Each structure stands twice: as structure tokens, then as C-alpha cells.
Structure 1
């Protein structure tokens, strides 16, 4: 890496041409504005100033457990007195007991509210740990809660059962546990034996491609298998696809699948189920070899082994774009940072907004105690699951459903590149998680910045007969604070944005980039996606991102109002010539019971979380509207065997439930391998409780039906794979929240046709733009 330091003095001012032709009133108004501007004389930095500091009103009770607590919990679990009989994961085999991971256990809301809203004591902190217990007579995976923390004589280790409704608490059948290193290693001898016996076949079919085991130097193929790998925990299987290895391996699939049964802890009992190639199933090595000898396995297309076409680097062969050598426009906080931070408590204040940030290895970034102008809107806003379900006529495509929390989504939040992933001068924070007895820090993996919305928040021109063509004109600057992180889970880079707008609205957006999980191309399989390379098909799939929004509109007594637009026939006596005619009416009601529901056709319904006991100055209930954005979808397949009961949260646009400490998450992290007998069944949340005047949680889905295309090569583009939702004030205030913003321009024309201009003291500053100042993090490095 080459560090390139560029420091240029760039006084941000605007040159005014002395001879301006009559271009109309708008151009004349602009000239008046710029002629009357003032600039600050000092040239301060406009990109690398630190954000002002503030002090959080209370400690961050949602913060992750510390590195010291993680180590203490690890040591406690491994003490002989604990009775856990644990082996270090690095030395473990299937029949051992060992820690899979340690994370932070959520703090119950009922314990938090007395503290953050009153004089209650600081809530007790707990860790959670998943332990694979292969050494038991009836092996399983069991989750535990460890606390209170810090570890002391009062700390206990208890089964974490209370927040799971599948019938076995925190216990997951051994065959449905996470398919980790020891489990994969246990299956490798069988895979190596089978593939070694047909190495002449695979070498002939796949340009010398062979597999003799993961550690054998002769191996030239890479195996991969998706999820689920069990249906109900009574069995385990791997449907293995082979690919050419390399950084773009997701894009070079081969037409060869090995299906094995790997039930139980005794690897000697694992067995071959069969092979799939050329769209046919072969139940044994003998059947496959006979087909090969008969010339029935010839490949129509050879997969490319040169995957440079799939790298995200500069491709000059696409042509040259004029002026592209110039740096593209960038968001710069040229007036200095307008948000305040308490880094220790991960607390943020911005233009009336305040909130806390937390993080877990499973869910990633989570926001808490979100207030606007001192009034709570949301207790919690967090992503719950990232689901992807595929379709195809090949085992890997047809079989694949991903729950990305299964892979610990938060651990994949990687470093962000300044100026590209986030604007120059953004604030970068580290995110940490725990792995065994250590703590891993992903540096500069969260960024905070204020961004220009590139359109005014509000604007109006009042027309008149003056020479300027108006009597007054007002326009208000649009800006937003964005909290962003990007998690690369295998092949996809999910970008999560939480945007806090000046008017009191809050937007959640997610984008997807990265490599497709592709399939081998067959001309007769275009119903599952197009050909995108020499022997590669883009596999059709859904992305569903499930979020939790625990609304507390002023307090915990809320209702969900449904306002339906209906076209109703009616007559009015002042229009006798029309007789009966159709007109819009609003049919307003409140949802009565917990339920999953979808956006109304044509979006002819408004859903508002409101406080039934609080009104604005006009007597209207104060609330926040749920505004659908782009691509608010749910899972297409509602009855697939691969996602039958373990993905219920992904099968509707929206859902509303009563908040319970026992229902903190929509899913469990090992649910993917239990589609027929889930550990956590989201559908059981809906048990008839009243949602009219209760503590409500809204569950909502964002996502994309991924209609794959050639333009997904090399990677999917963020511009197209994008989904969003907005929570906007609905009679929460007495008027729009833009009147108190100084970043505005007000122009009036009096009766003598004289123009006056008001800038409210907000000027365009002079500042020094510095790129690539010598800093110690990736975010501040300009690469050359």
C-alpha cells in the first residue's frame, strides 16, 4: 500500500461573472444571493475536524460485554468446577464439548426503562454462549446465559431457554447445529474417498479438476455446500457443489454435485447418497462411471479458470470515459461537523436527534433510545435477519436458504474506505466481537457523517407581477446524518444505512453488492436466470432483510392506526348535474390483535404508530407513519421445504406484536437447519394479544427480488439492489419541523420592486481541504 498525502488549500468560494446576461429571475436571484454572501476569513480544515463531544445522559446499558468480561466468562466456563468438561475449539472433534462463541445477551427492556427514564439502578449485564456438547450421551448444542457480570462469586451458568419457543429452549439437536470446522473435517474423509475414486472422471470433465481432500496438494477443486443441512435435526446432509478455487470462486461453478448423509457423531457411518451432473441423478459410483464410459457426461461448456473478468478492478477494455481521471464529487462537511459524540458510550446527538449505538457478533449494529427533540420515538431499531432463498434445477440452487446471522453477520463488518465507502472526513469507529478467549477489532468498520440530501428540505416561490416574477421565495437546506456499516457475508456486501433527517423522519436503507452465488449454465434452465458468462448462470433468488422497530411514541402505550383510501360513490346537492360520483374517503381504524400483514394494493393504506393518549395542538393523536420506500418485499416462496417454518418472519411485509422480554429476536442463530422444527417459530408470536394501547414492536422487511443479469458481473451494483423504508412524523408536531433551521434563504420583493435577501448568518465558509492526512487507519488512507 502506498500512502499518498495531498494537502491543498481550497478556499470554497464562488466566482461571480461581472457581465451576466438576462437569464431570467432565478439566475438574477442567485446573483443577488452570491453578491450578498459573506465568508469566514480563517481557512480551517473542512474534512478532518473531530466531531464536538457531548456526554450521554446515562451509561450505554446496551453496550457489548467488554474484552475483560469475555475472557472472564471463557475462564469460568473452562474451570473444572463448572462441570462443563470443555475442550479448546482448536483441539476439538465431534465428540467433544467446546465453546462455539460468546456474545452479549440482550438486556431486558423491563430492566432498562426504570434506569434510563428514572432513578432505577444500572441493569445487570449477562453474556450468552453456545456450547457444542458432542460428548453427552445425547449430543446437542446448548445455549447458556452467564452473569451477572463482571464475574464474581455470584455469577452463575444457566441454560438460556426462556427466549425460544420451539419446545427445547436453547437446545438444538446435534444434527442441526452450526456446520463448523470439526463437523466439516469429519465429512472430508468420505468426500475425499468418493472423489478420489472418480478422479479420472472429474479430471476428464473439468479440465484436470480433482479432489483428494482439503489438505491434499493434488486437489484442484473447491467444495462448497449451503444451508439448510437438516430438516428437523433427526438427520444431517451436505449437498456439495464443486468449483474452481480463487477469489471469484462464486462465479465459476461446475456441473458436479456430491450428496452425502452425515448424521450423528460417528463419521464412519457417513454415506454417499449420490451424484448430480448433466441434470441427472446417479445413486452410486458405479452408475456414474457407467454413464461416463458411455459418453453421457460430456460437458457442453467448459468453465473458465481465468476469473480476472470477475475482479472489481479497472477494466480498460470497456473503453475510456472523458474526464473520468478527475476526482468525482464528494460530500464534505465544509462548515464543520454538526453532530456531537460520546465515544465511550457510543452516543450521538444531531440536530434534535439523540441515540445510542450497540453491536453484537450476530446482528451487527443496533440503535437504542432514539429521541427527537427530547421525546422518545423508538426504544430499539435493529436488523434481525438477512435471508436469501434461491431457485434452480441443480442441488445447490434449489437447496439454498441462507440466514446470515447463522454465520455471525456482525463479525463480517469490515473496514470502510474513506472517500468511497464513506465521505472524506467522516467519523470512523471500530467494531469489536469476541472469538474464543480473545477480542477481535474490525477497525474503521462503522462511519458517521452528515450528508447533503441534494435537494431542499422545503421550498416555495410565491408568484407576482414584480420584475423578478415573485413576491417571496424560501428554500431550506436538506441534510441528514447517516450511520453506516458494510458487512461482507461470504459473497455479498450488505450496506446498512440509518439516516436521521432534519424534519424528524428516520430512514432505513440496505443495499447489496458482491458476487452472485451462481450456477452452471444450461440453455433449458433460463427460467432460473440468464447466462452471464461462458458457463455461468445467474441464479434467481430473494434477499429479505428483517428489522425490528420497538416503537415507544412518547411512552409504551401505543396503537397501530390503519387509514385506508377508498373510492366511495356519493352525491352532493351542489353538483346535481353529476348525480352519484366516485370520490376518495379515508376509512380509519385501529388494528386490534397481533398479526402479520402486507402493504395494501396500490399503497392505498397508511399505517401509523401513535400514542392514543397524546394529541398535538389540533387534537390529532401524535404518531409516526410507516412510509414504504423502494423494494419493500417479502419472501416469494411461502411453502418451500427449505424454509417451511424457520423463516416465518420473512413471509410478510410487516408484522406487529406486543413487546415481551421473552421475544427479543425474530429468529435464532441456529434456526436455518431446522426448517421443519424450528428452535424459534416467529409465527408463535401471534397469539391473539391486543395491540390497541400496548407496548408495540413493528417487524418489517426490506429486500430485493434479484432478477440476475449480465450487469451483475463482476459484482451486483448498489444502485439497483436497494431497499428502504421511512418513519415520518404524522401529526406528531403542530407543524413541519423546518422553521427552526437557520440553513435557509428567504428572498422578498417589496412594492417598489426592491429585493431583500436574508441568509440568517449562515455563510459559505473558507476552508482547507486535506485528503490523506497521516492517520493510522485504513479509513484515512488514499491509495495509489
Structure 2
């Protein structure tokens, strides 16, 4: 049972069973109960679970079960595997150990015969990244394990075929994920350097670092990615910050750069310091400048981080009527969707789809159909990129790939009534954690919502006395998850509209990763606190849309609007004009794989069409790609920090042929290989035809984050969002609203009437607790009322 919509109070009971108060009951008393929030609700239409259904097929994209994960873990650690593994909690840099285990995506070529032709369900495989520090040439190698369940037929093989880099599934040791083992290995060097200059740091900002576990340490450190360019070396560009819940917002003007190449930590070394916008290569250089009085914090970072705490701020006052509960989306008529939880399968108003989950990508959608016809084979987030800028080494060099930090595992528990409406359906997510399975409860929510605008409407008639209004109610089913990756909270929405369109939305909230404020460097962001600058950066969220419009043979049709000088037939319609300019549509198919941007002024329409299917009017059936809010790509196309490892983020759109060996736009270890990527997205474009082929459209959402004071304490979802819509384009013969009963026809005139097609607002029993003071005591009044 989820939290009730209203808090339980020990007051008397009034039962509300419809939306009209009964005769004999004082409306004012009921209204006062509402206004004073003195009630508790047990809305049956909120607590009622959605109906169940049975998926037409077992889910072939299902994540690993706990039993499968344990079996894979045990197999990898058997002596017969030859991997010579140490348990991660006991491993050192020079050991071999498992980083993580996940499910390997099932090849589309194997799934389609199962879905459409009655073939057996394809074999299931796991994937595992193993850090191999014990090899003569240490590396990180990815393996595939299967078929599952584990049996005598199960093998452990290198997973190379899904990567196009020079070494397949192998990543140089220096470019692998900077985990606890690598962090612990660098800490003695950092502690030694910083201890040696603790008198300087204490004088500059009342802070010192003596080691991560030393109680005298009162500042925090952070370093971003990349931490290598091509795997031949490794480095950390470290920024120091004040400790506390708002540490992202309290940076210090002090940076430490170290070299941490290889597995022998005794060879790690200092590269230098940066402070006051100057570089000091040695401790002696830094100390010499300090003694000369050349070092000082221009602005002292506030030691009280309350300004960055997201709690209620009493000093800001209270808005009128804010003590009332804000409006809420309620499924008053009961849930109109059904699901098969075991197979993660959902049906809603003509839509059907399967869900899956990856520890790196989060939730993914497969076999998306509308009214029984497949629109998309796969829809999934591929990468969440953030690139920063600034005049200090941390901001200037930071490019985050959030799948590198296992974005999916950071999809946490959602708060009912705030993250999702009361009464939503909540599902857990689970993923392997060593030899066990971690469960994040209530991390996906599913709910139907009204759109707060009609799906369609029109008022006929030409006077105020006669005519009719026709209105169809708008609604959509939303599947939502929120991933908190470090400082940012990404909200992922997939909205299935009742007209057959599908909207993808991403929003960003959470803390800024701020920089120290330098007055002369406003080009990198505004001042947002005493010593804090909001760091300008890009958010680019890359998605994969594998369209299967009525089959796998599709084309990308481009309809361009062009202004032309229109000549008139003879005799001329408008002889006084001669030729005149007007627009016309030029239509062609995209020929080859390519990355491209939306046309200026959006004067082009992109439609994935089935070249062999037409509607009743002879038009090719397809789905249009409709840009929504903030469809952008990376601002920098040639940065050394995102040179070849972030090619997927550098255009609005891209179209490629579908291949089983190109399941991902990126690699989870690509971020540390900007010069020598494990997965080079640009190699996807090798001149193949995309006419009448199985197509994948890759698209980018995001925002150029022009930081502002209103990002304190947290960035607001209101404008930090981006969206796209896939909408039917001649896919049907008419708008998909004629079969909806949630509509009304209101006629005006002498014989005015309203036609509602039999759909009424359902009764919703609510229990209210009304406080009535009699002789200083509460008195029970139990009334069966209707509102």
C-alpha cells in the first residue's frame, strides 16, 4: 500500500461517495474541511490496482534474474574459467576482478522470428566487465556469458563484436573506470602533497586535506572525466570544495593536478597546482608565491551552506493560500491501462509495449505497437552527456558520460504525490551487485494523466445563440523514472498519447556543479553567490529509435518547404502581380546514412515511412519526427575532451542501417578515450543505403544550461527540459479521435442539449475526518455524504 493521498488525522468521519453534496448536509462545513486540510482520503480509484493482462510472448529483453546473476558470478569465479578473479572488496590494482555484470541485449535478428514467426525464444546472455590488473599488460576486458541458464553449454567469451574500436571489448587500463581501488591508490599521493601545504590552504580558505579517512580533513575533493586521452596515460584534475550536502555549490579556488598512470602507485606524481588563475608546477613554486603574498582568495567561500539547502526557507515568507494542498492528477475513473508485471508488458488505449532495464541505460522500450501495428522495435536512452567550460582546469576539462556512472542503477525511489501522482503504479528495478541482486523499490511509475487541454475541439455556428461545441478529452499514459547521477536528477518521461503519438521528455534538476567566482570571467557563467559562479555547460541526452513502420523496410522521407517564384497559368489569375513568391514542398528520400541537423526555421519535415504501404488516400504510411522544446547538440565539435568519443552528441539527428553489432551509440568506458574511442559513432556512417531498409534514428534532446541565480539551491524542472514527438503522418486515414467516448457535444439554442456518449465521472468514495469542537472535546459525526 502506498501513502494515502491525505494524512491520517484522528477526527470524525464523513464519507463522500460522489461529486455532489447530499441534501441535508451543510456544504460550508464540507468546504471548511477541505480548506483546513482536516480530512483523510481513501479514494478507491487511487488505491485500486490496474487490471492485469497476459503478454502475447515472454519478454525476450528481460534483465537478469537473481538466480541467473548468481550462476554467472559463480561461473566466472570457478578456477576452470581461467580468469583468476579476486573478490572486488579484497582486490588491489594488480588483481583481476569483476566490475559489473548485466544482461547482453538480444540480437534483433533473433528476436523478430520469435515475435512474428513463431520461432523459439532466443538464447539469453550476460555481459561482464572484468578489470585485469594482474595481466602483464593490464586492461579492462568485456565478456559475454551464455547461453543462460548456466549449463554445460555455457561459455565465457570475449565480447568484441559490438564495438568498432581498435581493441573491441578491451580498454587500456589507464582508461578504465576510476573505481574505489584506483581512487584509494591515488589518495596517499594527494594526502602527502596537501599535508605538506596545509599551512597554505588553512591560511587561504580555512581548510586542509590530510587523506580521505583522516579526521583532520575538512574539505572534499572531486575530479571529473576524461582521466585519459587514449589510454597511454592517466591523470586527475582535482578541485577542492567545502564539505556538506551542498558541496557542489561551494568550490574553492584551489586545484591539484596529478599523474596516475599504471598500476604502481609509487610512480604517481604531481603535475602542479592552479590557484588565482595561475599554474604552479611544484610545491616550491606555490610556497614561494605564498610567502611573497601573491596568493589570496579574492572572495571567501561562505562556510555556512544553508543558502544551498533545498529546505523550506522561513525568511522568504509564505505565499497566500500555500497551506492548501496543490492540485493533483487523479485517475478518478479508475485505471485504464493493464499490465503483465512478470513480463514488464503494458497495454493502454491501443498502445502495447514491453519494458526492459539496463544498469547503464535505465528503462528501455521494445515492440511498441499502436492498434496492433508495430511502430518501434526499440526506444532507449543511449547517453547523458554534460560538457562544461571555464577558466580553471576542472571545468575546462570536464565531460561526463553518465552511463559511465551506471545511470540505471541511480534510478531511485519515487515520492508518491510529488514525483508521480497519487495512485500511480510503481515498479521496482533490480540489477546485479556482485553475487547478489540490488533492488531499488518503486523506481518506475506508470500513470495516466489528462493533458490539461482537449485533444481536439471546435465550435460551430455564427452567433452567440446557436451552434455547437465539440470537445474530445486529452489524455496520455506516462512511464517515468528519475536518475540521480551525482549532482543532477534527470527525469525521463515516455508519454503515450491517445491519438497515436509518442512523446519523449527529459528534465534536469539537482545541484549545479559550480565554479569559483572570478569577476573577469563572466563569459563562463554568472555569479550566483558570494564566491560561486554557475558553470556554463551543455546537457545532451542521446536516444535510439529503431523504427519498424509496418515491417523492417523503411525510408526516411524529407519534405522541405521552399520559397519559390510562382508563375501563373495563362490567362493569369492575378495579372497585376506577374510572378509572386509562395512556398511549396519538395519531397525526397534520404539516400545514405548520415548525421544531420534540423533545417533552419524548421522548414523540413522528417518522416519514417513504409515505402510499400499506403493509406486509403494513396499516401505512404509513416511516423513524423516532430522537434519539441530545446532540441540541441553539443556546442563544441572539436574539443580535445570530447573529440571522437562523443560523436553521437554532435548533431540533432542521425539515421543508420540497423545492425546487431551496433546496439549502442556509445561505450560505458568511452569517456576516457576521446582520442581513441572504444566505440566511434562516426564509423556507423559508412555509405550504406537507408532507402527501403531497417532504419535506426538517433536523436538528441537537451539544453544549453545558461546558469542563473534561480538555479540556487536546485535547478528547476520548469525550463530545464527538452522533448520530441513521434506522430502519425498519413499512417491512418483520419485523426485517431473518432473512436473515443470521452467527448462532449454541447448544443446552444432553443432546444439546448449536451451529449456525453455515456461516459460519466465515476463515484469515488472518500473518507473525511472532520474536527468538531464540543465542550472542548472532539465529537464524532459520521455522515455518508456525496460531493
**TM over 0.5: same fold?**
yes
- The Cα shift of 1:44 comes to 6.6
- Counterpart for residue 773 of structure 2: none
Tell me what 1:188 maps to: 187
Q: Does 1:759 align with 2:756?
A: yes
**Structure 2: distance between partners of 1:407 and 1:457:** 40
- 1:184-263 to 2 correspondence within 5 Å? 184-207=183-206, 209-263=207-261
Q: Is the 8 A contact 1:632 1:702 kept in 2?
A: yes
Change (3 A) 1:70 1:287: same
Residue 267 (structure 1) aligns with: 265
Separation of aligned partners in 2, 1:357 and 1:734: 30
Kept after mapping to 2: 8 A contact 1:44/1:766: no
Q: Distance in 1 between matches of 2:302 and 2:89?
A: 36
2:667 aligns to what?
A: 668
Deviation at 1:14, TM superposition (A): 5.5
Q: Distance in 2 between matches of 1:307 and 1:560?
A: 52
Equivalent positions of 1:305-320 (< 5 A) are: 305-320=303-318
Deviation at 1:433, TM superposition (A): 1.0
Aligned partners of 1:46 and 1:769 also within 8 Å: no
Give the corresponding residue for 2:721: 722
1:754, distance to aligned residue in structure 2 (A): 1.2
**Deviation at 1:149?**
0.4
Q: How far apart are the structure 2 equivalents of 1:141 and 1:667?
A: 16
Alignment-derived partner of residue 563 in structure 1: 559
Equivalent residues of 1:337, 1:450 under 8 A apart: yes
Q: Deviations over 1:173-225 (max 9, x none)?
A: 00000000000111111000000100100011112x11111111111111110
Among 417, 420, 425, the alignment partner of 1:427 is 425
For 2:645 and 2:428, locate their aligned partners in 1 and report how far apart those are by CA, in whole Å. 33
Secondary structure at the counterpart of residue 81 of structure 1: helix
**Counterpart in the other structure of 1:486:** 482
Greater mean deviation of Cα atoms: 214-223 or 614-623 = 214-223
> What is the aligned partner in structure 2 of residue 365 from structure 1?
363
Alpha-carbon offset, residue 770 of structure 1: 7.0
Cα distance between partner residues in 2 of 1:658 and 1:10: 58
CA distance in 1, matches of 2:14, 2:351: 34
Q: Structure 2 unaligned runs (5+)?
A: 24-41, 770-787
Q: State how 1:739-754 maps to structure 2 within 5 Å.
A: 739-748=738-747, 753-754=750-751
Q: 2:531 aligns with which of 517, 530, 535?
A: 535
SS in 2 for 1:646: coil
Find the counterpart in structure 1 of residue 46 from structure 2. Answer: 47
Per-residue CA distance 1:120-167 (angstroms, 9 max, x = gap)? 001100000000000000000000000000100000000000010011
> Offset at 1:305?
1.8
Say if 2:344 is the partner of 1:341.
no
Distance, in Å, in 2 between the alignment partners of 1:464 and 1:361 is 59
SS of 1:193's partner is: helix
Aligned pairs (5 A) from 1:294-693:
294-465=292-463, 468-470=465-467, 472-572=468-568, 573-693=572-692
- Residues 256 and 770 of structure 1, relative CA distance in 2, 3 Å threshold: farther
Given that 1:567 and 1:583 are in contact with CA atoms closer than 8 Å, whether structure 2 keeps it comes out as: yes
Deviation at 1:395, TM superposition (A): 0.7
Write out aligned runs for 1:57-206 (5 A): 57-206=56-205
In 2, Cα distance between equivalents of 1:629 and 1:299 = 44
Aligned residues: 742
TM-aligned CA deviation for residue 749 of structure 1: 5.1
Give 1:384 deviation, angstroms: 0.1
Matched, 1:768 2:765: yes
- The one-character-per-residue Cα deviations of 1:486-545 (angstroms, maximum 9, x if unpaired) are 000000000000000010000000000000000000101110000101110000000000
1:691-710 correspondence runs (5 A): 691-710=690-709
Instruction: Report the Cα offset of residue 323 of structure 1.
Output: 0.2
Q: How much has 1:2 moved relative to structure 2?
A: 11
> In 2 relative to 1, CA 70–477 (structure 1 residues): closer, same or farther, beyond 3 Å?
same
Q: Quick one: distance in 2 between partners of 1:600 and 1:2?
A: 48
1:559 to 1:14, Cα distance in 2 relative to 1, 3 A: farther
Offset of residue 313 of structure 1: 1.1
- Structure-1 separation of matches of 2:459 and 2:325: 35
Bigger Cα displacement from structure 2, 656-665 vs 575-584: 575-584
* Cα distance change, pair 12–305 in 1 and its aligned pair in 2 (3 A): farther
Residues 770 and 368 (structure 1 numbering): CA distance in 2 closer, same or farther, change over 3 Å?
farther
SS, match of residue 47 in structure 1: helix
Pick from 19, 43, 47: which aligns with 1:13?
A: 19
Q: 1:245-264, CA deviations, whole angstroms, 9 ceiling, x for partnerless residues? A: 11111001000000000001
TM-score (norm 2): 0.93
Taking the aligned partners of 1:456 and 1:14, their CA distance within structure 2 comes to 24
The CA RMSD measured in Å over matched residues stands at 1.7
| Structure 1 residue 318 displacement after superposition | 1.2
CA distance in structure 2 between the partners assigned to 1:237 and 1:442 by the alignment: 33
Q: Which is further off, 560-569 or 572-581?
A: 572-581
CA contact 1:48–1:770 (8 Å) conserved in 2: no
Instruction: Report the secondary structure of 1:309's partner residue.
Output: helix
Give, in angstroms, the shift of residue 308 of structure 1.
1.3
C-alpha displacement of 1:765: 1.8
* 3-state SS of paired residue (2:364): strand
CA distance in 1, matches of 2:116, 2:768: 43
Once the 2 structures are TM-superposed, how far is the Cα of residue 686 of structure 1 from its aligned partner?
Answer: 0.2
* Equivalent position SS for 2:200: helix
Q: Structure 2 vs 1, CA of residues 695 and 8 (structure 1 numbering), >3 Å: closer, same or farther?
A: farther
Q: Secondary structure at the match of 1:663?
A: coil
How has the CA–CA distance of structure 1 residues 8 and 698 changed in structure 2, closer, same or farther, with 3 Å as cutoff?
farther
Shift of the 594–16 alpha-carbon distance from structure 1 to 2, 3 Å rule, reads farther
Equivalent pair of 1:173/1:234 in contact (CA under 8 Å):
yes
Please state how far the C-alpha of 1:16 moved relative to its aligned partner: 13
Contact 1:195 1:210 in 2 (8 A): yes
Aligned to 1:776: none
Q: Matches of 1:8 and 1:264 in 2, distance apart? A: 71
* Deviation per residue, 1:699-728 (Å, 9 max, x gap): 000000000000000010000101000000
Aligned mates of 1:771, 1:254 — CA distance in 2 = 53
Between the aligned partners of 1:82 and 1:200, the Cα distance in structure 2 is 53
Please state how far the C-alpha of 1:469 moved relative to its aligned partner: 3.5
1:608–1:9 distance in 2 versus 1, CA, 3 Å: farther
Q: Which runs of 5+ in 1 are unaligned?
A: 18-42, 773-784
Q: Give the deviation of 1:350 after TM superposition.
A: 0.2
Partners of 2:444 and 2:480 within 8 A in 1: yes
> SS where residue 521 of structure 2 aligns?
helix
- Describe the shift of the 1:240–1:454 C-alpha distance in structure 2 as closer, same or farther (beyond 3 A): same
